[in-house]
Amino acid sequence: MTDYAVLIMAAAARHCGGVRVSAGQLAAETGLPVPTVQKLVSKLSGAGLMRSSRGVGGGLKLARPPGTITLADIVEAVEGPIALTACLDKEKSDCTLEGSCNVKGHWPQVNAAVRGALAQVVLTQLVGPQVAQAQLVEEVVNV
């Protein structure tokens, strides 16, 4: 579902000027089913990455400028904290090898490296240079 969330966020980012779009429009642009878009928009909104409004002129839009939204933000909105293994979470760990594991102490460093790499990619890098430039101009005008 995370890859679909990235597609949805990129599609929303292509709408310059904070134009609101419907879940149906995002579904059409991404090729995803409307219920999937609605489910993911709910998660993305809950994480503060999208805003939704009802009524006339309502719809969906990014909650922040796309240059401030990272892939790490999107992954964490859908999946929770970025971790390659659950063994560090005592509530979720059910590994039978935990007592004799020689690499457990290194997982925090690995997880931080993965999160750091995802945090280096911002949404504007995924939407194309023309859209990124238009949104940069918009941000400067709105300051």
The domain limits of the chain are: 2-141
Residues 92-141 have pLDDT tens digits of: 666 777 778 888 888 889 889 999 999 999 998 988 765 555 555 555 44
**Count of alpha carbons within 13 angstroms of residue 61, beta-carbon side:** 14
Helix (H/G/I), strand (E/B), else coil: 34: helix
Q: At what angle are helices 2-13 and 23-30 packed, to 10 degrees?
A: 110
Q: How many CB atoms lie within 10 A of CB 37?
A: 26
pLDDT for 138 equals: 52
- 60, burial (CB in 10 Å: exposed 0-12, middle 13-18, buried 19+): buried
- The residues, ordered by sequence, that sit 6+ positions from 2 with a Cβ below 8 Å of its Cβ are 74, 75, 78, 79
Residues 24-74 have pLDDT tens digits of: 999 999 999 999 999 999 999 999 999 988 888 789 999 999 989 999 999
Which residues sit opposite 21 in a β-bridge?
A: 60
pLDDT for 99 equals: 76
pLDDT for 17 equals: 67
pLDDT for 10 equals: 94
Query: What is the C-alpha separation between 46 and 77, in angstroms, rounded?
Result: 8
- CATH of the structural domain 2-141, one choice from 1.10.132.20, 3.30.70.100, 1.10.10.10, 3.30.365.10: 1.10.10.10
